[in-house]
Amino acid sequence: MVLPVTPAASADTPIARAAQAAVVARSGGDAWPRPSSCRVLTIANQKGGVGKTTTAVNLAAALAMHGSRVLVVDLDPQGNASTALDVDHRSGVPSVYDVLVEERPLSAVIRPVEGFTHLYCAPASIDLAGAEIELVPMVARESRLARSLAGYDASNIDYIFIDCPPSLGLLTVNALVAAPEVLIPIQCEYYALEGLEQLLRTIDLVRSHLNPGLSVTTILLTMYDSRTRLASQVADEVRDHFGSVVLRSVIPRSVRVSEAPSYGQPVMTYDAGSSGALAYLAAAKELAGRNAQMPAST
């Protein structure tokens, strides 16, 4: 599609911003170090609205814009990550549902994300809502995603991010069994730490029974509001408790971040110069900087 360029199209109009962002996304930035083998990170927190999807989509986009090849696996029946990446996820399209329930190869449902050279998405359709129940009587019901990933040739992929639903049900357990790394986004607000214990207990259980290599490698503080003392108190508490696992970069609360999905874009391209995009860029760079320390995934 050719967009008409009129003198009125200043950088402040949505079209001009999108055009500008698209140029950045296509040309890419400087190349960051890539891991020696594919890193698989599950993005989990059973609380809804803490920034799991936003984090999955924007870390993936930032890494892809800097030379990495990245796959986002959408494991939430709501399909928010698929929406944010503008990947079709209407009921019936090949999706993660087919992978988990019908044992379709992962490669058969992966779609390229438009505007990026090496960003891919395995979409979630609403059919996945039924999988939580359909999986119950199945053999190795907790390991179906892990098996699918084991059969997927990830030699051309540097990072896989698995975006979890807001629960600790079978879908999230599948994600925890499938990845060596867990990334927990924590929202900087009062109830942030409530429920974290339950998540950590679930991770421990999965580690002892199903995935001995599992560890929480990354915590990201999200929706930080620098105007409130509470936000800095929560951030301090998380850092005291979890130490160096917590990324130094903190994601601020930013309107641009919340607008981006309705344009089918990560904030990284929707408004690359916004505070939210710059923070995700810094967080992604930190994540890439930790490549050498990470255990090689299988």
Judged by the rule CB under 5 A, the positions of this chain that interact with Mg ion are 52-53, 80
Please pick, from the candidates 177, 220, 257, 278, the single residue that binds ligand ADP as defined by CB under 6 A: 257
3-state DSSP assignment of residue 162: strand
Q: Tell me how far, at minimum, the Cβ of 132 lies from ligand ADP, in Å.
A: 16
Residue 83 is a binding residue for ligand ADP (CB under 6 A):
no
Q: Tell me how far, at minimum, the Cβ of 167 lies from ligand ADP, in Å.
A: 11
**In this structure, are residues 25 and 264 in contact, taking their beta carbons and an 8 Å threshold?**
no
Q: Which helix (H) or strand (E) holds 280?
A: helix 275-289
Q: What one-character DSSP code corresponds to residue 187? A: E
CA neighbor of 34 nearest in space, from 285, 295, 297: 285
Q: Tell me how far, at minimum, the Cβ of 254 lies from ligand ADP, in Å.
A: 5
Measured CA to CA in angstroms, residue 213 lies from 40, 170, 179, 209 at distances of 12, 19, 8, 11
Q: Tell me how far, at minimum, the Cβ of 98 lies from ligand ADP, in Å.
A: 22
154/221 with CB nearer Mg ion: 221
Please pick, from the candidates 25, 251, 281, 283, the single residue that binds ligand ADP as defined by CB under 6 A: 251
Triad 28, 225, 246: Cα angle to 5°: 65
Alpha helices in 13-51 (DSSP H): 14-27
3-state DSSP assignment of residue 182: strand
Unique residue bearing structure tokens 């059919």: 127
Choose from Mg ion, ligand ADP, none: what does 100 bind? Cβ within 5-8 Å by kind.
none
Find the binding residues for ligand ADP in span 222-241 (CB under 6 A).
222-223
CA neighbor of 176 nearest in space, from 159, 156, 201, 151: 201
Beta bridge partners of 185: 220
287/294 with CB nearer ligand ADP: 287
35/266 with CB nearer ligand ADP: 266
Residue 51 is a binding residue for ligand ADP (CB under 6 A):
yes
CA atoms of 237 and 233, how far apart (whole Å): 6
Please pick, from the candidates 258, 273, 289, 298, the single residue that binds ligand ADP as defined by CB under 6 A: 258
Find the binding residues for ligand ADP in span 266-295 (CB under 6 A).
276
Contact positions vs ligand ADP (CB under 6 A):
48-54, 80, 166, 222-223, 251, 253-254, 257-258, 261, 276
